[in-house]
Amino acid sequence: MRALILADLHFTDWNKWQTFLQIDRSRFDIIFLLGDIDIMLLESIKKHFAEKPIIGVHGNHDYPGDLSHFGIADIHGRVANFKGTRFLGVEGCVRYKAGEAPIHEQKDITTLLQAMPPVDIVLSHNSPKGIHDKPDIAHVGYEGLRSYIDSHQPKYVLHGHQHSNQRTMVGSTEVINIYGGVLFDTESGQIQQLLHVDE
């Protein structure tokens, strides 16, 4: 499966974005959204790639309902299936402020994931605890996601939030931090960066 993956686009240059939208659609089968993608960009994604299936999760800078407003499948806390591959979604990050954004207590994500079955690929906004995360509360990883990896060993955990591109093996699971836009081949594991985000 070939996926176009987008994450953390809130600093994207508009001219770069317009160029990016001209990508050859035959190069990917599905789009994964890992959160922190504003509504103008969501609208253009849905418009330009209307023929492609799109699944994703919200980031901590998104609003609940942004994805569904544009007819994009929000898979937070749900299992989705595409061509025999099973996906699980985990939105937001650890609660670091008050408000309605998708931010959660560690225990709530742990409880959620304890009830989830094994899948092939996890799409998460936040990283697992101790992998690619940072010490500040807004960027510490999910404890429950790390436990899920240890228990179920999905093939991939794809996440954003940390604003870097990193790959780490945890047992037989590859945890991949995506920043910007990439093409990802789930069979070979090859990644090609297509869209760089300038902060």
CATH code: domain of residue 61 = 3.60.21.10
- Residue 38 is assigned to a structural domain of this protein: no
**Considering the domain boundaries, does residue 133 fall inside one?**
yes
Low pLDDT (below 70) residues in the chain? 199
Whether 90 maps to a domain, the answer reads yes
- Structural domain span for residue 98: 2-6+45-195
In a domain? residue 171: yes
Number of domains in the chain: 1
Residue 34: inside a domain: no
Strand order in the sheet with 166-170: 79-82, 85-90, 121-124, 156-159, 173-177, 166-170
Per the domain annotation, does 105 fall within a domain? yes
pLDDT at position 41, please? Answer: 96
Q: Is the residue at 152 inside a domain?
A: yes
pLDDT for 99 equals 83
pLDDT number for residue 198: 79
Helix axes 106-114, 143-152, angle to 10 degrees: 20
pLDDT of residue 20: 95
pTM: 0.97
pLDDT at 100: 81
Q: What is the pLDDT of residue 199?
A: 63
Cα separation, 15 vs 153, in Å, equals 40
Torsion over CA: 92, 175, 32, 78 (sign): negative
Q: Is residue 16 assigned to a domain?
A: no
